[in-house]
Amino acid sequence: MSIQIQFFGAAGTVTGSCSTVTCGSKRILIDCGVAQDKDCTKKKPFAFDPKTIDAVILTHAHLDHCGLVPVLFQQGYNGPVIAHYATGELAPILWQDTLSINAYDNCQLYDSAAFQKAVKSITYYDYDEPFNIDDIKITLYDAGHILGSSHVEIEYDGKRVLFSGDIGPKNTPIINEPNFTWRNPFDLVVIESTYGNRTHKSRIDTINEFKDLVRDTIKNRGVLLIPA
């Protein structure tokens, strides 16, 4: 049997990551994120029936990858939400915040009941801890993007597929570097390419530039705001 993949977001665009992986009779959703737009297109129904999904796997807790998970439950999904421990703790915080904010902007994505269902459905796994959905073997690896970010490896019928999720850079304070150590080669890799067409400054140059900005702000008696 083959592995079939369909992209419903973050293909041709950056945000709104959402893909299905069909292995035999099982259909797995990799991420379910909010698309970045000015109008309330987030209220539109999915291009697939959430009731046909057997499991959801999250790569990490950013809204463009996990923000619409409660909407799945609002529209009939009733399966597990699989994630690394850290992602499983962070995602509900974002969902709760979204629920509160959207109550004031006439763009209610989901209600409290759907939010609670999503939270109760989270199933936690650690990195390098294989688990199975029937005869589908799945393993999460550290993607080094944020706390809990994961590559998702799917093995089925002798084939191996990797969803990279968002990949972090090297030499980032606090966050581990991405894990690129694989036991065997993949038959297909679905990789994020947000910055694939540009060359970043080195980490040292970026840090020094930030230091210069801080010094200049202090020297000019300005106000320094650092979101953290």
* CB neighbour class for 57 (10 Å; exposed up to 12, middle 13-18, buried from 19): buried
Mean pLDDT, the chain, rounded, equals: 89
Strands 26-30 and 18-23: antiparallel
Q: pLDDT-derived band of residue 5, with 50, 70 and 90 as boundaries?
A: very high
Interval 21-48 mean pLDDT = 81
* Burial status of residue 48 (CB atoms within 10 A of its CB: 0-12, 13-18, 19 or more): middle
User: What confidence score (pLDDT) does residue 78 get?
Assistant: 96
Domain ranges of the chain: 3-198
CATH for 3-198, options being 3.50.50.60, 3.60.15.10, 3.30.70.980, 3.30.930.10: 3.60.15.10
How does DSSP classify residue 74?
A: H
Q: What is this structure's pTM?
A: 0.88
Integer CA distances (angstroms), 164 to 8, 31, 197, in order:
16, 11, 17
Q: How many residues does the chain have?
A: 228
Q: Can you tell me the distance from the alpha carbon of 57 to that of 142, in angstroms, rounded to the nearest whole number? A: 14
Does the pLDDT of residue 63 top 80, yes or no?
yes
Q: Could you give the 3-state DSSP secondary structure of residue 42?
A: helix
pLDDT for the residue numbered 100: 85
Alpha helices per DSSP H over 135-224: 203-219
- pLDDT digits 0-9 by tens, 104-115: 667 788 899 999
Beta strands in the chain (DSSP E): 3-9, 18-23, 26-30, 55-57, 81-84, 122-125, 131-133, 136-142, 150-156, 159-163, 188-190
Q: Other C-beta atoms within 10 Å of 110: how many?
A: 24
Query: Within 10 A of 6 (CB to CB), how many other CB atoms are there?
Result: 14
- DSSP string for 85-108: HHHHHHHHHHHHHHHHHHTTTT--
